[in-house]
Each structure stands twice: as C-alpha cells, then as structure tokens.
Structure 1
C-alpha cells in the first residue's frame, strides 16, 4: 500500500504527504467519525519549498468551522484498512471545552456525503430507527395499492445488500420504483399522484423534482428523518433512468419480478438482481465502503433528467449545496429595496417577500409592523429568521413557493388572493436568479395577489457584464413589457450603471 502521512493539522485544515494511490480517510473527534474525504480527489497541492516532499492540503468544510473551538482528540484513519494515520490531543480556536458536534436537539451529528450535518445511523438505536422502518413499510404498502412496486434504493439498498443494515455513515433512507410508463410526462403525473396518495394518509412531503419527493418521518425522540422516493422508468432506447443519478443500459428482468432483502431485521422488496442496480448507482466498486462517495453522473444522463424532471426547480441543487449552508445573518441591515418598500407602504400591509433567501429583509419588515410572508423554494434557509421572529412575536410566516412550478404559483396565489387587506411584494434579485419561466411565475403571482392597488418592488441586475454569484442580468425593456402583459403598470424604473465589466442595477416599482 502506498505511503500516506498526515504532516500537520491546524485551524485551517490538514496537510498530507500523499503518493499516487487515492484513499478514503475518516476524521474523528474524540473517537467519533465526523467527516470523510479522499486523499487525492478532494485535496489540492500545497505550496512547498523546492525539493521538499510533495504535500497536499484540504481545508475544513465551511459547515464545520462553527464547531472548531475547543479541545479534542483528533484522529485520521484509513477508512478501509482501519490504519490510524494521526492521533493527537489538539486545541482549536479560543475555546477550552471539549468540541461537541451536536445539533440544537443535542443529537450527535456528522457530515454526510452531500456535505450536510445530520444524525448518522451509527449513533441511533434500534428503537429510535423503528419509526423509519415502519414508515418504509407503510409507504411501500400505499404505493402497492396505487399499482407501484417500490423497493429500497441508493444507500439504503447498498446497506441492505452489503451489511443487512443501514450504512453507519448514512443519514436518510431511500426508496425507488420503476414505472410502467415510458413517457417522462406520464412518470411526472404518476409521481404527483403518489404524493397525493401519501398526503391523504397524513404523511408530510416535500417535492424535489417532477420525479422525486421526500416523506418526513418523526423518530421516537422527535427528530425528523427524510425518506426519499425516487421514480424511474425504462425509456424507449432500452436505458433505465432513475432519479436522480441513474441512466444506464439495463434489462427489465434485472428489476422484475422483485426479490427481497433484509434491512435491520426487516424484510423489504428488492430488485430481482440488486447487485446490478447497485453497480449502476455506485460503479463496479460498490462493495468497498466509501463514506465520502460522490456521484459522477454523466453529462448525458444529467441533461436528460434535468430536461424531463428538474425543470420544476432549476438551480435549486446549486442553491442548497453552495449557498444554503452559509450562516444566516438575519440581523444584517435591511436592503435599500426593503427600506424603500417600507417607506412607501402603510403599516399593516401584508408584505410578500418572494425569494427571501435567509430572511433578513423579511425579519426587518416584520419587526417594523408589517405582516410578512417570506417565500423561497428552499425554505430551510429561512428557519433561523422564523425562529427569531417567533421569539420576538414579530408577524413572520415562512412558506415554500416555486416560481417555475405553475401549480405552486396558482395554488399560493389563490390562497393569498382570498385574504382581506392590502398587500405589497418584495422581489430582490429574483428576476435575475431564475429562468424565463420563473420570471413569468413571479409576475403571474403578483397579478393574482396585488390586484386593487398592490405594488411590486423588484431589484435585478441588468445590462452587460458580470453580476453577483448566481445572478444573470436581464433586459429592463423585457421586464417592463412582461409587467404589462400580466396586467401591471410601471410606476417607476430606475437604472444605476455598474462599474467597468459589471452589470448595472435596476429597481422597478409596478402596480396592479
């Protein structure tokens, strides 16, 4: 086995002396695995003096930084071989207590393969996981009533086949099914039908895309675990597509008729040849444990799944992975746009903050006496603002809204339109952060909720040049024309040119 040593650990990260073999490494704090990475794939070359042994560095994940204040016994081990490469008592930051990776409920947490903190299965008892197993049985039974044969998928199937249990480093459960439909549109309709069937039976759900959604399961201690349901189908080209990572040549007899697997002492349905599906999901080395696994979905498969199923939520995955984990500074000063809306709007008006992000504007408006509803298609980013408002008694509500999903816009628009009282809408960097369909969704939502004199205050990047991260400048004339098409009238439209090479800033106020 190639030599690998950990040469230094500090507040910034780890320094490794690595040869050519890429290996999965675990980082443990006081004996508990918190994070895993690959020695070559996830590291970068470190600046070294000429002639020194080549070294590679990896920074602590951003989500870990808030915990790194105190002392711990830090260990690094080879995940497969179990060899300990580093083991030292260490101090981080300016704290003097033992570092503890726990959530607000006091539950031990670790980083999953998506880089998010969750209570891993390894720290949960059988009694605590029993509600999840029962929920899996219940969902499978409901789907069977609907004519769908579901089975454990992805990490849950991997754990059942390889270990007859949940993977210790996993943090949610997955189910999948292969539809008898061959049209993506019919697969989408079927997925929504299944979601309704589960909702009627009292299950809380959250939709990811046209072909996948989550069922929330409350464990015995009150914590909530996600149970994902991924739809799939055989396309006319003989390939199996399964949300959200599989697109491979496959035979129907490798799925049907279903067999069985054992998971944590429970028997569940399984594909006829589960090993073949696991290879399609994880590659030929699926039998080798890898807590730092990353899907490498082909461009062809990703493009097809995006076009068929993810058009409902463009950019949502990027927002979740790259933005949503950043610390929410809900006490940041209100934006100029929110200040302008507050100055132009009577206290008591219901303010709809669309694309509210982390909620600093929404919280500011609620504190100022406006009944405020904060909307985002990833509403988890608003939870801190919601908690702060609840403690302070500020009138802030958080709701999910997807501007690219017509049913979401129409349903929420109809709900708001039936309410009494004046309304105003804030849309800061929404028009330039979505697609043309999303822009139409925003203006349709405004048309439904602001009729009778309500005003939309919108800010967006416009003109030539670069905008901020995740922003795409849009033409002012196009926005003004679209407002007219949806029945609005422009009150004002101001443009502030940007510096050289940067897009300008437009602020538009429209009335319905």
Structure 2
C-alpha cells in the first residue's frame, strides 16, 4: 500500500523509525512519529491531522512527507483539501509561515525567524536573565529548548518557538517556592517587562520583535523537595544539586548564558538519553502521578474545561431561565435571608432565584464563560450577583476561597447542583476541603448529582464527559473529611429537563463538629 494523504489524514503501509516531517510547499508544518501518533487501519497505519491544523486545511498545496533525519520522501505531490482550488497558505496576519509546535499550537518557529529577530530575542532573553539574577536575586540559567539547541549546535532549535530560563530555588516547600515566584513576577513587571503568570511556579515574559510580532521567554521554577529534583511543568526525578550548581557557561547564537554544571546529566534528565538526536515530534510523556503532584502544588488541574468553554459559546442558551427543582427544595431548608455560596453557578439561574428570595449569594465557577453567563442572567433580572472564581481541582484555589468565606461575619450555606457530575473524580478532594473549611462554623452543604443508575439514559445536552458518582462512596468521602449527612434523597423525577429524567442523589451535609 502506497502512502496516501487526504483531508482526513495520512495512511502508511508500515511503521517508520524516527520523526516524519509534513511539508506544504517546502515548508515544514508538522512532525509526527508512527509509534506515538498512528493507529492500525485497513492493513496499514493511519495518522489523523491534529485539530488546529485540520481546521486550516482548505485549498491546494504541494505536500511532501519525508523522514526528518534524512531519507527519500514517502510522498510528494499536489493535494486538494476540500472544494477550494486556491493555494493553501498556513501563515499569520503578517504573512509569516506557521508550524505546529510541541504544544499543539500553530506558531511561527525559529526556522522562519529573520536573523535580526533571532538576535533580538536572544539578547532580550539575556536581559531577562540578568534582571532575574540581579533584581530578583534568583539563580537563573538557560534550560529546556534553548539549552538543548546551545548544546547541540550553539543555535536555537529550528522547530522551537520560544526560549526558556529556569531558576534554582533555595526553598524546599511549595508554599515558599510560590512566594518566591510571585515576588519575581512583581519585580519583573515593575522593571517594565510584560509578565503573564502560567502557574504559581512559572511565568512568561513577552518580548517584542522587529517584525512587529512577539516571542515568549518562559521562566520555570526548579527545586529539590526531599531527594527529588523538579522543574515546572512536570519533570521530576533524581538529580543531585551538584549537577546544576555551580553554573557553567554556554553560548547560544553568540551570547553567553549560565548553564547547569553537568550539562549531559541535566539534558538526559530533561529529554532522556537520546537528547543529541533532533526530534521535532518530541513530546514530554510525564507520568500521571508527576502531573497530579505539580498540579496540586502549583496550577490545579482543569479537567473538562474545553467542554465547558465550548458549552458557554452557545449551547448554554438552551438552559431554562427559571430556577431548578433542586434550588426550591434546598431553599426550604435554609433560614430566611441566609447567605449562600454557589459552586458551579453555570448560567446563574439558581443564584438569581435565591437573590430574588432574599438571600445574599456569592457565585463561583472555574469557567470564564460561566461567569459571563451568570452576570448576564443577573443583569437581566435586575439583581447583583458577586462572582469569585474557584477551581475545585486546585487545592490552593479551593482552600484560599474557602478560608475567605470562613472569615466572613456570618456562615454561608454551600449550594452545589451538578458539580460532582461536572468535575473529574479527583476534583472531589478540593470540593470536600472547600466545604470542610467554609462550613466548619455553620451553614449546610446542599449537593445534587447523577448516580450510576443514570448511565445510558437520555440526556438533554447529549454525550459529554460526566461523572456518575456512587452515593455511598460520596457519603463515605464526606465522613472521612469530617462531614455528616443529615438528609439523603434518591430517585427519578427530581431533575427533569426535557426528555431527560436522571436518577439523582440529593444530600444535605453539616460540617460542624458534634452534628448527628
């Protein structure tokens, strides 16, 4: 079977060693490996176009598929994508060619940077490093792709799209590392740099380029906790401090940077033993436990956020404007005028109804689209619904928000309809921590969620990621975190929406000691 390329993807007769480059008009737009990206299909292999690239495939292009590290093309010829015959150009608004980077984004990579843009970015990166060192007091050094390119050839890697610096923290506790990073962000911003926080332990600095575009310099915290070395994003393993300091020196595009003391050990820690071989299809394959650990410490996971972002771009308008059956049931169990915090406020319809019935309601969600929908609902009803973002999949976000509520003059009830359905099971830890802290002085927690008996039943909004939590398991988790279930109801007919009539569980929980 010959190699075949069409609008759906790439079909190959067999697997190939090493990365393969896809070129449009002689320009590399994407690289992949059959080992990671291909699936078996029709006696051969099939590789689907990545979504960001597939969305731009309309028109005609001369396509070449060739091994990255040398060899004859596997395919070369014109391909028509869709119905259009106009030339297919993958360019930005200034006409610069774009390629899919390691993060899955269409970016302008260093292959296509003019010499003056390369020089300006490297010089600016050195100025960033100097400010991190002298103004922020950090031990900063070149890392990730910039260090890899410097070690291989002294030049930036052609398929990369930003430069990376690290700083070696003097601290060994996540809280201290967060404070250190925040202080550096403030200092860099005060010096005039455009700073964007990426997590609690790394940030990005945008650098303007002569082309009129900009490029990023990413600053990553690195640190030892116990006997493991960590670098944000999610690298973790054994690497002694003497492999990093005292720093040596390395040149990148003719500019000297501090570099880890044992360059080979550091790059093998980062990229593995094959770090010397160029691989534009490289992706980090972090163990899930490492990702969870770093997420809890510094960023918080946001599972299912893409679904909810898409939901609040239009489908949410099908949600009824009136209150849910659950909010009227819960309100009967609240004191008149008592304050409430709603987790997962969604469109804000229940919050608006509670406000109209005399309750002060603080709304919360982790999706920006939900915030806009809640504000719009409140404005349409002529009421005020204050909003505070809370990500229950981040222990930091959960505990900070809960602590603020715990210090308010009057306890709040906690209202969470559909939250257990919407978050991944790992997010329930943040939910219970929030409820335990916010509810320890009083107030009740009202929960409604679908049970496993709902799986396979018709749904109003079709298939999307849902959690069907076992009520007994939820009750056990609540008890383990110090809560007491004071009322429990299960069944159908409680949460009808159109033809959907799920089996739901309603729980009323107290977090005060001595509740029975």
Measure the CA separation in 2 of the matches of 1:108 and 1:244. Answer: 28
| 2:25 match | 30
| 2:36 match | 41
Report Cα offsets for 1:293-337 as digits up to 9, x if no partner.
Answer: 12244x5xx536744x332468727657xx479967702243647
How many equivalent pairs are there? 452
| 1:355 match | 366
Measure the CA separation in 1 of the matches of 2:87 and 2:446. Answer: 48
Measure the CA separation in 1 of the matches of 2:21 and 2:309. Answer: 24
Kept in 1: contact 2:362–2:387 (CA 8 A) = no
Q: Is the partner of 1:18 in helix, strand or coil?
A: coil
Deviates more, 1:149-158 or 1:338-347: 338-347
Measure the CA separation in 2 of the matches of 1:138 and 1:96. Answer: 46
Measure the CA separation in 2 of the matches of 1:251 and 1:68. Answer: 47
Kept in 2: contact 1:178–1:234 (CA 8 A) = no
Return closer, same or farther for 1:443/1:336 CA change in 2, 3 Å cut-off. Answer: farther
Aligned ranges for residues 140-155 of structure 1 at < 5 Å? 140-143=130-133, 146-155=136-145
| 2:379 match | 370
Q: Is the partner of 2:36 in helix, strand or coil?
A: coil
Return closer, same or farther for 1:364/1:489 CA change in 2, 3 Å cut-off. Answer: farther
Return closer, same or farther for 1:446/1:139 CA change in 2, 3 Å cut-off. Answer: farther
What is the CA RMSD across the aligned residues, in angstroms? 4.8
After TM superposition, give the deviation of residue 510 of structure 1 in Å: 11
Kept in 2: contact 1:76–1:84 (CA 8 A) = yes
Is 1:117 equivalent to 2:103 in the alignment? no
Return closer, same or farther for 1:274/1:41 CA change in 2, 3 Å cut-off. Answer: same
| Aligned counterpart for 1:435 among listed residues 427, 436, 441 | 427
Is 1:208 equivalent to 2:199 in the alignment? yes
Is 1:225 equivalent to 2:216 in the alignment? yes
| 1:52 match | none
Larger-Rg structure: 2
Measure the CA separation in 2 of the matches of 1:397 and 1:132. Answer: 42
Return closer, same or farther for 1:156/1:444 CA change in 2, 3 Å cut-off. Answer: farther
| 1:266 match | 255
Report Cα offsets for 1:425-469 as digits up to 9, x if no partner.
Answer: 886545643533321355479879xx9x9x999764335686963
| Aligned counterpart for 2:231 among listed residues 242, 246, 257 | 242
After TM superposition, give the deviation of residue 241 of structure 1 in Å: 3.7
Kept in 2: contact 1:363–1:396 (CA 8 A) = no
Measure the CA separation in 2 of the matches of 1:91 and 1:18. Answer: 24
Aligned ranges for residues 65-464 of structure 1 at < 5 Å? 65-81=54-70, 83-102=72-91, 108-128=97-117, 130=120, 133-135=123-125, 137-143=127-133, 146-181=136-171, 183=172, 185=173, 187-202=174-189, 204-208=195-199, 212-220=201-209, 221=212, 223=214, 225=216, 227-233=218-224, 235-236=226-227, 240-297=229-286, 299=287, 303=289, 306-307=292-293, 309-312=294-297, 316=301, 323=306, 330-334=313-317, 336=319, 340=323, 341-342=348-349, 345=352, 352-356=363-367, 359=369, 361-368=370-377, 370=379, 401=391, 404-406=394-396, 410=400, 428-429=418-419, 432-433=423-424, 434-440=426-432, 443=435, 460-463=449-452
Gaps in structure 2 of 5+ consecutive residues: 324-347, 457-463, 496-500, 511-516
Is 1:12 equivalent to 2:2 in the alignment? no
Kept in 1: contact 2:432–2:478 (CA 8 A) = no
Q: Is the partner of 2:363 in helix, strand or coil?
A: strand
Deviates more, 1:100-109 or 1:152-161: 100-109
Kept in 2: contact 1:69–1:94 (CA 8 A) = yes
Kept in 2: contact 1:161–1:261 (CA 8 A) = yes
Kept in 2: contact 1:191–1:231 (CA 8 A) = no
Measure the CA separation in 1 of the matches of 2:266 and 2:351. Answer: 58
Measure the CA separation in 2 of the matches of 1:197 and 1:60. Answer: 40
Measure the CA separation in 2 of the matches of 1:28 and 1:398. Answer: 46
Report Cα offsets for 1:348-383 as digits up to 9, x if no partner.
Answer: 998735033x72x555444445389xxxxxxxxxxx
Measure the CA separation in 2 of the matches of 1:125 and 1:412. Answer: 50
Kept in 2: contact 1:493–1:509 (CA 8 A) = no
Kept in 1: contact 2:365–2:371 (CA 8 A) = no
TM-score normalised to the size of structure 1?
0.70
Measure the CA separation in 2 of the matches of 1:324 and 1:158. Answer: 35
Kept in 2: contact 1:151–1:268 (CA 8 A) = yes
Q: Is the partner of 2:166 in helix, strand or coil?
A: strand
